[in-house]
Amino acid sequence: MKNLQGVYTALVTPYRNGGVDYEALNNIIELQIKGKVAGIVPVGTTGESPTLSCEEHLKVIEFTVEKVAKRCTVIAGTGANSTAEAIELTVEARKLGADATLQVTPYYNKPTEEGQYRHFMSVAEKGELPVVLYNVPGRAGVPISEKNIARMSSNPLIVAVKEAGGNVERVSKILDMCDITILSGDDALTLPMMSVGAKGIISVASNLIPGEMTEMVESFLNGDLNKAMELHKKYYCFFRDQFIETNPIPIKAAMAMAGLIEESYRLPLCELTAEHREQLKKSLVRCGILK
């Protein structure tokens, strides 16, 4: 599990009539497999995990594991701002067959560095799944410091970091202090982060364009920088506008425009404004995703 690289899709959770749309979820999973992604990440932030019940959360993981059927890696989102809850979800995800867990920084309660360390160590040791740390200070309120990542990297169950703080230099800082796999958490920063040592991306865009994201990342890994840059430039406007409002609102709108899902959210998330919808649609047309 130390050699994670490539594209890992942070799956949306499609809804219909108020519940999870498992038919659409199955179709999205098959699209990912066809696009040759390295892995799938169900019920992370993009999967609207805060608005899923515990029962729904585990059922989505179970469904994903069953449908993937070992064709790619499944990294289950089982983070929480309660350590006990994160451990419970992680233990259940392991029992359901997940290969690893994505662990977001505990949000809102803003733990100290020592509190973060104890939290992640407890999840790793009691959950008994490889852990991908998720640094996203814009959501969590606090970062995972480079020093803390280096400290935790000595545990063989801490295998990677999803770096979603928007700071490319952090990749260099982390790799200067320890040997851990880093995955970009921002599609637009995939190539910049890979240029200084990241091994791939936990991607939102690949919900819609998995094959294209895989080609971009694989081109870079294989030394074809011109092809990788060509794809980055082609899809940059989509990378940018999929965050025109809070994720996953725009990506679900884009997927609905492409006929993949019903555009449905759970409060407090709601539909795009008319102005932003038009801008997103123009970007999708511009890069060839929509006619």
Report mean pLDDT in 10-residue bins for the chain, 291 residues.
89 96 98 98 95 96 98 97 96 98 94 96 97 93 95 96 96 97 98 98 98 98 98 98 96 98 96 97 97 88
Largest Cα span, the chain? 51
- The closest alpha carbon to 136, from 202, 69, 215, belongs to 202
Q: What pLDDT does residue 1 have?
A: 62
Q: What pLDDT does residue 23 have?
A: 97
* Active-site residue identified among 15, 134, 235, 265: 134
For the chain, which domains are there?
6-222 (3.20.20.70)
* Active-site residue identified among 162, 199, 235, 265: 162
- The closest alpha carbon to 250, from 275, 274, 271, 235, belongs to 271
Number of residues that make up the chain? 291
Q: What pLDDT does residue 139 have?
A: 85
Q: Is 252 a catalytic residue?
A: no
Q: Is 162 a catalytic residue?
A: yes
Q: What pLDDT does residue 3 have?
A: 81
CA atoms of 132 and 183, how far apart (whole Å): 9
